[in-house]
């Protein structure tokens, strides 16, 4: 069966921002001050605007949004974004509770099936002990819960040197590492 080579995304650089935002790699647009437009608010233009999936089409029609982000709630289908990925600079994946794991699948579908290369950010209950899973699925920015220090995030993300599966990040599974060890 096809055994595609695993995409290597280069060395991950970290950029720590204010508001307990934690980035895993340098992005030129990472410093943008993203503004989320709630569903019941008037849509505005701007440099970096995030909207819900239900207002995404509306946002697409505007030409006064420079960088467009979309927020995906658990249960929403990221595959709907496929035709528009070139227009999307940020996908926020919501984890209203850490127990709701649906958006782990969303992250992998975006990275692996849809080849989305923009930022994927976890928002909501983003706790230290879930970060490893999130990043492995291809999430590369974390809006950490206020209780999580960046040091704790560093520790959580560096704990496991080896992983058993290929997923949405660039890490080699151990069966692949074994081939060359």
Which residues of the chain form contacts with other proteins (CB under 8 A)? 1-4, 6, 74-75, 98-102, 104-105, 108-109, 112-113, 127, 129-130, 132-134, 136-137, 155, 159-168, 173-179
CA nearest to 134, candidates 173, 180, 103:
103
**Beta carbon of residue 8, minimum distance to other proteins (angstroms, whole number):** 13
92 close to 71: Cβ distance less than 8 angstroms: yes
User: In terms of CB distance, is 94 or 109 closer to other proteins?
Assistant: 109
User: In terms of CB distance, is 137 or 141 closer to other proteins?
Assistant: 137
**Beta carbon of residue 43, minimum distance to other proteins (angstroms, whole number):** 29
| Tokens, residue 83 | 């035709």
**Beta carbon of residue 130, minimum distance to other proteins (angstroms, whole number):** 8
């Amino acid at each position: 069966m096809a055994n595609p080579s695993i995409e290597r995304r280069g060395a991950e650089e970290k950029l720590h921002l204010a508001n307990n935002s934690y980035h895993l790699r340098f992005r030129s647009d990472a410093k943008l001050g993203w503004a989320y437009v709630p569903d019941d608010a008037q849509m505005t233009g701007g440099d970096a605007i995030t909207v819900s999936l239900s207002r995404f089409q509306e946002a697409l029609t505007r030409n006064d949004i420079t960088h467009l982000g979309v927020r995906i709630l658990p249960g929403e289908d990221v595959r709907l974004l496929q035709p528009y990925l070139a227009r999307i600079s940020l996908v926020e994946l919501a984890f209203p509770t850490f127990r709701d794991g649906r958006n782990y699948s969303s992250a992998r579908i975006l990275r692996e099936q849809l080849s989305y290369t923009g930022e994927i950010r976890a928002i909501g209950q983003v706790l230290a002990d879930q970060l490893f899973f999130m990043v492995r699925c291809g999430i590369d920015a974390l809006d950490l819960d206020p209780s999580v220090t960046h040091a704790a995030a560093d520790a959580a993300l560096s704990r496991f040197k080896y992983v058993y599966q290929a997923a949405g990040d660039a890490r080699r599974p151990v069966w692949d590492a074994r081939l060359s060890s």
